[in-house]
């Protein structure tokens, strides 16, 4: 029999699948790591389990305690699920732009959810500030994914080694969106330690501050954007600029159209930020031949965005599709 006792045992070991869209036939070998195979449908299951397990093992957290964090949705469902199974209570804060599907998923695991206005990080009403304040005032355990080095460590210990092993060490280019930066920083550091020639390419939405920070070490004010889960308006502790070789910036429109195209052409239903990564992979692939092997991270599932970038109505309302266009 091949059976499992606990859904937590199913976190990680996600598959690498060939990506064709945007990759020329004489270009690099390109694969995407499908993180929607994790139990709550995103890459966030990995770091949530790692942070909670480590804190419990070190006695910083015990059954019955309350854990809090701010989330663009995916950490919320991961924390809600992991907390329940570890005997903890979970409270999440999330901004208004978070998709209904992700909000409902968090609630379905029994967590408490606080929806906050779409304001900058340092505004006391922001999803970030509310989580920090409640943690301090009530003594909750703060998962603090944006600054947690255990977030980075979880990808150094799982995502990076899986990519290395599944490509038999042949990977030459790693392409990954940056939200907290944990996935990128942890996996890229592991891969570069294995082979210092591997190029780590970070992917950022237009409007996020990471691009200017990484290129010029300048903290410029960004502007709001629609893609969920990646980009930031402040530098994060989980983002390690020293492991970045290149950063590619992608617009909302290109991200969403690419995600939709990949679903139709290749049957891979992934989230908007996976469209961002796939679009960046096309840019990066231009100068590369078949001797190169590129791996991109698809952080979550398109099923979480049926009311957003997979809805023609929503795309038109945002101005990403002309009014008269009917997408099949």
Ligand X SMILES: Cc1ncc(COP(=O)(O)O)c(C=O)c1O
What positions carry a catalytic annotation? 44
Binding mask 184-203 for ligand X (x = CB under 6 A): x-------------------
Out of 148, 183, 208, 211, the residue judged to bind ligand X by CB under 6 A:
183
Alpha-carbon distance 121 to 211, whole Å?
17
269 binds ligand X (CB under 6 A): no
Minimum gap (Å) between residue 237 Cβ and ligand X: 12
Residue nearer to ligand X on the CB measure, 65 or 121: 121
178 binds ligand X (CB under 6 A): yes
228 binds ligand X (CB under 6 A): yes
Residues of span 298-317 touching ligand X by CB under 6 A = 299-300
Out of 12, 76, 222, 229, the residue judged to bind ligand X by CB under 6 A:
229
181 binds ligand X (CB under 6 A): yes
Task: For residue 17, count other CB atoms closer than 10 A to its CB.
Answer: 16
The two three-digit tokens of residue 30, written as one number = 């390109």
Three-state helix/strand/coil letters over the chain: CCCCCCHHHHCCCCCEEECCCCCCCCCCEEEEEEHHHCCCCECHHHHHHHHHHHHHHCCCCCCCCEEEEECCCHHHHHHHHHHHHCCCEEEEEEECCCCHHHHHHHHHCCCEEEEECCCCCCCCCCHHHHHHHHHHHHCCEECCCCCCHHHHHHHHHCHHHHHHHHCCCCCCEEEEECCCCHHHHHHHHHHHHHCCCCEEEEEEECCCCHHHHHHHCCCCCCCCCCCCCCCCCCCCCCCCHHHCCEEEEECHHHHHHHHHHHHHHHCCCECHHHHHHHHHHHHHHCCCCCCCEEEEEECEEHHHHCCCCCCHHHHHHCCCCCCCCCCC
Number of residues that bind ligand X (CB under 6 A): 20
Residues of span 234-263 touching ligand X by CB under 6 A = none
Residue nearer to ligand X on the CB measure, 44 or 173: 44
273 binds ligand X (CB under 6 A): yes
Residue nearer to ligand X on the CB measure, 280 or 299: 299
The two three-digit tokens of residue 155, written as one number = 């990808």
230 binds ligand X (CB under 6 A): yes
Binding mask 31-60 for ligand X (x = CB under 6 A): -----------xxx----------------
Residue nearer to ligand X on the CB measure, 243 or 288: 243
12 binds ligand X (CB under 6 A): no
Stretch that binds ligand X, among 7-15, 228-236, 245-253, 315-323 (CB under 6 A): 228-236
231 binds ligand X (CB under 6 A): no
Residue nearer to ligand X on the CB measure, 24 or 283: 283
Minimum gap (Å) between residue 43 Cβ and ligand X: 6
Stretch that binds ligand X, among 57-65, 224-232, 308-316, 320-328 (CB under 6 A): 224-232
Angle value at C-alpha 290, between 285 and 293, nearest 5 degrees: 65
Strand partners, 18: 31
Length in residues, the chain: 328
Out of 72, 208, 249, 269, the residue judged to bind ligand X by CB under 6 A:
72
The two three-digit tokens of residue 225, written as one number = 């954007």
Instruction: Yes or no: say if 255 and 227 are a contact pair by the CB < 8 Å rule.
Output: yes
Residue nearer to ligand X on the CB measure, 21 or 42: 42
182 binds ligand X (CB under 6 A): yes
180 binds ligand X (CB under 6 A): yes
Question: What residues make contact with ligand X under the rule CB under 6 A?
Answer: 42-44, 72, 74, 177-184, 228-230, 271, 273, 299-300
């Amino acid at each position: 029999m091949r059976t499992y006792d606990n859904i937590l045992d199913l976190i990680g070991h996600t598959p690498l699948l060939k990506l064709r869209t945007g990759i020329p036939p004489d270009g690099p070998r390109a694969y995407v790591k499908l993180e929607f195979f994790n139990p709550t449908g995103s890459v966030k299951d990995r770091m949530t389990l790692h942070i909670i397990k480590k804190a419990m093992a070190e006695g910083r957290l015990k059954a019955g305690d309350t854990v809090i964090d701010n989330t663009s949705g995916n950490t919320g469902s991961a924390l809600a699920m992991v907390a329940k199974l570890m005997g903890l209570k979970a409270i999440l804060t999330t901004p208004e732009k978070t998709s209904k599907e992700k909000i409902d998923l968090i609630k379905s695991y029994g967590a408490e959810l606080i929806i906050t206005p779409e304001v900058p990080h340092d505004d006391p009403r922001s999803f970030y500030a509310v989580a920090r304040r409640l943690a301090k005032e009530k003594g909750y355990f703060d998962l603090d994914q944006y600054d947690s080095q255990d977030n980075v460590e979880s990808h150094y210990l799982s995502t990076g080694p899986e990519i290395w092993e599944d490509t038999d060490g042949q990977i030459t280019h790693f392409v990954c969106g940056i939200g907290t930066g944990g996935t990128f920083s942890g996996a890229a550091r592991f891969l570069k330690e294995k082979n210092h020639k591997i190029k780590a390419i970070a992917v950022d939405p237009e409007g996020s501050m990471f691009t200017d920070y990484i290129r010029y070490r300048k903290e410029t004010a960004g502007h709001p954007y629609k893609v969920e889960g990646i980009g930031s308006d402040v530098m994060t502790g989980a983002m390690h600029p020293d492991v970045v070789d290149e950063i590619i910036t992608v617009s909302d429109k290109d991200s969403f159209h690419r995600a939709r195209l990949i679903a139709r052409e290749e049957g891979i239903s992934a989230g908007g930020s996976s469209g961002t990564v796939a679009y960046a992979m096309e840019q990066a692939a231009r100068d590369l031949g078949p001797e190169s092997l590129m791996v991109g991270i698809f952080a979550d599932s398109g099923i979480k965005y049926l009311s957003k970038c997979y809805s023609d109505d929503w795309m038109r309302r945002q101005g990403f599709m002309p009014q008269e266009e009917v997408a099949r």
